[in-house]
Amino acid sequence: MKHNNLLILPIIKKPELNIPPETISEITEDQYEEIAEHYTTQLTKLLINHGFKMEDFLFRDLYLVFESIKSAMMRSNNKYHPIQEYSDIVYENMSSKDDTEKEGKDDTD
């Protein structure tokens, strides 16, 4: 194993939020950030474990994942995040593409 391709990440403990389900809608911006950071870090570790080299420039893509996780949590609480507009457009485009592909398939497939 080549040690020069190794990326050492700090150990980040699971956020200790202990938020009861009935108060999840009351979490703060800082708590959204903490939870999103936790899951993005876990995903990064999994990618590294699978052999992906996480160069500095690839963290730009993971930043989008981080913001998407935060946005999903905020949307579930009826709160706005700017990336929601982008994700709505992408989702609509993908949904219409899937519908178009389904219409174009022959029933004999």
**What pLDDT digit, counting tens, does each position of 7-64 carry?**
555 555 656 666 666 788 888 899 899 999 999 989 998 988 999 888 877 788 899 9
Q: What is the CA radius of gyration of the chain?
A: 19
Whether the pLDDT of residue 2 is over 50: the answer is no
Q: Cβ–Cβ contacts within 10 Å for residue 25, how many?
A: 11
* Secondary structure of residue 22 in the 3-state scheme: helix
pTM for this structure?
Answer: 0.68
Amino acid at 16: E
74 confidence band (pLDDT: 50, 70, 90)? very high
The alpha carbon torsion through 48, 49, 51, 52 (nearest 10 deg) reads -20
* Secondary structure of residue 96 in the 3-state scheme: helix
With residue 99 as reference, give the H or E element that holds it: helix 83-104
Kindly state the average pLDDT of the residues 66-94: 94
